[in-house]
Structure 1
């Protein structure tokens, strides 16, 4: 039994020390996707932070934040304060929150993103 373990360990050890075989798929994974490039450009220019601030303002103006707070309170009362974890609360509220974002807010953000992409020539 010990001899078998030693042999398999040696075999594994040698295979670990061998450099990995290059793979074409690995080379493609190293190049950033268009989504990642856009995200990097938005962060570098500060546009992402400006969009996040605009989103916060618009959601506050339309009462979305208050609505989400009420949903959280209702869920916690229903489940019991000591029986709810943050993860459970997030799982319960997220779909409702995303669905209740006003279309006008989504449209405004989308337009700002399009304007940024045109100005950045991406």
Structure 2
């Protein structure tokens, strides 16, 4: 598979793309992936999730000492908490947006 920083992986001729790859490619080609990412950012800011994650990072840095914290440390601490604390309403809205996109593009009927 060919990989590029600016484009999703391009399947080799002998390998058929799977459903996830097809959907990801359609999302990127249509610009829908960027729109969904922006919508997600907005919703996470609106519900206070982003501020909550900042506070977790700050508290961790205070406890460990600012000069002793690496980006990897923060990622390892914040990622599980961040994923677990995304409000169900935001998850539901994003899922509905993705389902609508799939239905509009007849991708919801694929095996």
Common fold: TM-score over 0.5: yes
Going by fraction, where is helix more abundant, 1 or 2?
A: 1
Q: Deviations over 1:61-92 (max 9, x none)?
A: 00000000000000001111111110111011
The reply on whether 1:99 has 2:84 as its aligned counterpart is: yes
Higher normalized contact order (CA 8 Å, seq sep 6+, divided by chain length): 1
Unmatched segments (≥5 aa) in structure 1:
1-26
| Residue 31 (structure 1) shift | 2.1
Aligned length: 96
User: Partner residue of 2:16?
Assistant: 31
Larger gyration radius, structure 1 or structure 2: 1
User: Partner residue of 1:51?
Assistant: 36
Instruction: After the TM superposition, list the runs of 4 or more consecutive aligned residues in structure 1 that deviate by more than 3 angstroms.
Output: none
Q: Structure 1 length as normaliser, TM-score?
A: 0.75
Unmatched segments (≥5 aa) in structure 2:
1-12
User: Partner residue of 2:100?
Assistant: 115
Give the root-mean-square deviation of aligned CA atoms: 1.5
